[in-house]
Amino acid sequence: PHPGILCVDRSGKLVFYDFGMMDELTPQVRDGFRTFCIALFGGGPYISDAQLAANSAQLVRAVAQMGILSRSADRLAVQKLAAYFIRSFKDAQLGRARRAPGTIKSTLGDDLRTLTDESVFRFPPTFTFIFRAFASVDGIGKGLDPSYELGKLAQPFIEQLTADESTPLQKLGQATGLNLRDVESAVTSPRKVAYIEGTLRAMEQGALKIRVRALENERALERLSAQQATTQAVVLAAAALNVATLASGAVAPRLAYGAAALFAAQAASRALGVRKLDK
Q: Which residues contact 16 (CB under 8 A, 6 or more apart)?
A: 1, 5, 6
Question: What's the pLDDT score for residue 35?
Answer: 86
C-beta atoms surrounding 193 within 10 Å? 10
With a cut of 80, say whether residue 263 has pLDDT above it. yes
Domain ranges of the chain: 3-165, 215-278
Amino acid at 162: T
* Residue from 35, 25, 61, 47 nearest 91 by CA: 47
Q: Which residues contact 259 (CB under 8 A, 6 or more apart)?
A: 236, 237, 240
Question: What's the pLDDT score for residue 277?
Answer: 66
With a cut of 80, say whether residue 159 has pLDDT above it. no
Per-residue pLDDT reduced to its tens digit, 80-130: 888 888 888 888 767 765 554 456 766 676 677 777 777 788 877 777 777
Q: Is the separation of the CB atoms in 55 and 47 below 8 Å?
A: yes
Give the chain's radius of gyration (CA, Å): 28
Per-residue pLDDT reduced to its tens digit, 15-61: 877 776 666 778 888 888 888 888 887 777 777 777 888 888 889 89
Per-residue pLDDT reduced to its tens digit, 167-197: 565 565 556 555 556 666 777 778 888 888 8
